[in-house]
Structure 1
Amino acid sequence: MSDFQEHVEKLNVRGIIMASLMTAFGLVVALAWKDAINALVASIIPDDSDGSLLSMFITAVAVTVLVTVLAAAALKANRRLEQSWDRVNDLWEKDEDEGEPQEKADRAR
């Protein structure tokens, strides 16, 4: 195996992509829901100095819960993808192993 292939295998591109997706999900969710959650909390808690601080904490907790649920779903999907990928690789390697003796026998003829 070449040095390049070894470095690519060690790089774990899927892991890097998943980390980037998680970061993007967090940002998008926070921006998309910020105004809606603020409006909801403002309608529940009257607008005074103590209420605005409480509403900020409630908003932060709500966004955190939402992002956590999305992150868990993405990690679960990634786990399933890795399992499927491993099965495909195992089948691929099995086919290659089974094909080698036949190829050698064909070449010997």
Structure 2
Amino acid sequence: MRRWLPGFVALSAIWGASFALIKVAVEAGVPPLWVALWRCALGAVTLWAILVLRHERVPRDRALWGHSAVVAVLLNTVPFTLFSFGETRVSSVLAGVMNATTPLFTLLFTVLTVA
């Protein structure tokens, strides 16, 4: 068996479970903004734990933190909020499938804008 397969399966299970858990949360009455907040917070705690376990230092560059804040808003906060809001209207399976099409739409957008 290939060495990458167990990690790939685990990552797939974690990624897919996140959409099911978003659905569980919004059906339980948790507002979409709170779902996004907790998802981002848990991700941040995980990254801090990895830094601690690897004995690495937190970057000190202000510009890096500024750029990271912009990226966090555009690529984490906004999409996670929209996914949470979207799952109040559609199934978690459809949300996961639509998210999986992101690379394909990115390719299409790039071809249309560059060509």
What range is the shorter-chain TM-score in?
Answer: 0.3 to 0.5
What is the TM-score of this pair, normalised by structure 1?
A: 0.36
Larger Rg: 1
Structure number with the higher helix fraction is 1
What is the TM-score of this pair, normalised by structure 2?
A: 0.35
